[in-house]
């Protein structure tokens, strides 16, 4: 795969989205979705190790170089799924593979359950479905979301004296992110402002969601997934829980692999992750499944 990505602009119905595309245009089509507050550079160390793919790494709505939502709008989970669902259509992909990390894995897993016949294979890194809440928690969540949105109006974005300071703050916040990984995310995620640098991402991404899906709804989406699925976990990443086992049981064809690393295992330890993904996607090089 080429060591230099191609920058894309993808115009959807509502937003102009940015992406980094790796590999030949006739390669196996893979849409890659990064995690919350990250950007397309999340896959910069992984992509060159996956030859034969047309790997389009999206800046999710409101992240990186992608356009922010209109005034008054937020980034609810199902709205994000709907916005991302437009991208393969704009690219002219009838059937494609999905690769997602964290929030991107949550979006990918629900998208694969929403349009199961479109998704050829599904690769999830440190995530299987979104965060959930019980129905009785909905009133408090909506109140919190509205309160946070009003409080953020006019609040200045955080500024840093340098990219190095921003990278160090990011590493401290994540806890398990390597210096190389932080530099990759910062390199695409910052813009210059008076007195230093700040994040390009929309501050509204930090506002609490209006509502969350219930666990029953998430399980329904996972049961609808038809694509063979691979879940890659970092040994020091998200913990193993009864809820995870329940979700794994809901997916009809899923394999799991646990590799040394933290939540950003794909960024910090790309070689073993790339090996696992390449082996899983190998049947696609023979033609659509």
pLDDT reading at 141 higher than 80: yes
Residue 100: per-residue pLDDT: 99
Q: What confidence score (pLDDT) does residue 229 get?
A: 99
Q: What is the pLDDT of residues 228-275, one digit of tens each?
A: 999 999 999 999 999 999 999 999 999 999 999 999 999 989 999 999
pLDDT in the model for residue 60:
98
pLDDT at 276 over 50: yes
Which of 266, 200, 265 has its CA nearest to residue 44? 266
pLDDT given at position 1 = 59
Using CA atoms, how far apart are residues 65 and 72, in angstroms rounded to an integer? 20
| Mean pLDDT for the stretch of residues 89-93 | 98
Mean pLDDT of the chain: 95
* Sequence-distant (≥ 6) Cβ neighbours of residue 243 within 8 angstroms: 215
Q: Are 128 and 105 in contact (CB under 8 A)?
A: yes
Confidence at residue 286, expressed as pLDDT on a 0 to 100 scale:
58
pLDDT surpasses 50 at 289: no
2 belongs to the catalytic site = no
Do residues 97 and 277 touch, judged by C-beta distance below 8 A?
no
- pLDDT of 264 reads 95
- Name the nearest CA neighbour of 223 among 248, 242, 256: 248
Write out pLDDT tens, residues 33-45: 999 999 999 999 9
Q: pLDDT digit string (tens) for 173-223?
A: 888 888 889 999 999 999 999 889 999 999 999 999 999 999 999 999 999
Q: What domains can be seen in the chain, in order of their start residue?
A: 6-133+213-286 (3.40.50.1820)
State yes or no: pLDDT of 53 exceeds 70: yes
pTM of the full structure? 0.95
Catalytic hit among 102, 109, 201, 209:
102
Yes or no: say if 158 and 201 are a contact pair by the CB < 8 Å rule: no
């Amino acid at each position: 795969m080429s060591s230099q990505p191609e920058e894309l602009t993808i115009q959807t119905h509502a937003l102009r989205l940015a992406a980094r595309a790796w590999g030949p245009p006739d390669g196996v089509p893979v849409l890659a979705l990064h995690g919350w507050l990250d950007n397309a550079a999340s896959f910069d160390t992984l992509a060159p190790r996956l030859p034969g793919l047309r790997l389009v790494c999206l800046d999710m709505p409101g992240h990186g170089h992608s356009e922010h939502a209109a005034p008054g709008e937020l980034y609810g989970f199902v709205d994000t799924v709907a916005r991302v669902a437009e991208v393969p259509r704009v690219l002219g992909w009838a059937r494609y593979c999905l690769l997602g990390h964290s929030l991107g894995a949550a979006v990918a897993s629900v998208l694969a359950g929403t349009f199961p016949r479109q998704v050829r294979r599904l690769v999830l890194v440190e995530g299987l479905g979104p965060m959930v809440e019980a129905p009785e928690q909905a009133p408090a969540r909506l109140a919190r979301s509205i309160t946070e949105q009003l409080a953020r109006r006019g609040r200045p974005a955080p500024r840093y004296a340098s990219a190095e300071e921003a990278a160090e703050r990011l590493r401290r916040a994540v806890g398990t992110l390597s210096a190389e990984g932080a530099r990759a995310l910062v390199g695409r995620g910052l813009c210059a402002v008076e007195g230093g640098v700040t994040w390009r991402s929309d501050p509204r991404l930090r506002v609490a969601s209006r509502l969350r899906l219930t666990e029953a709804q998430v399980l329904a989406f996972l049961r609808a997934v038809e694509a063979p699925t691979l879940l890659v976990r970092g040994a020091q990443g998200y913990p193993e829980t009864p809820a995870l086992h329940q979700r794994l049981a809901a997916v009809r064809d899923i394999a799991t692999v646990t590799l040394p690393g933290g939540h950003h295992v794909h960024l910090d330890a790309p070689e073993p992750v790339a090996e696992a993904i390449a082996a899983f996607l190998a049947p696609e090089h023979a033609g659509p499944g």
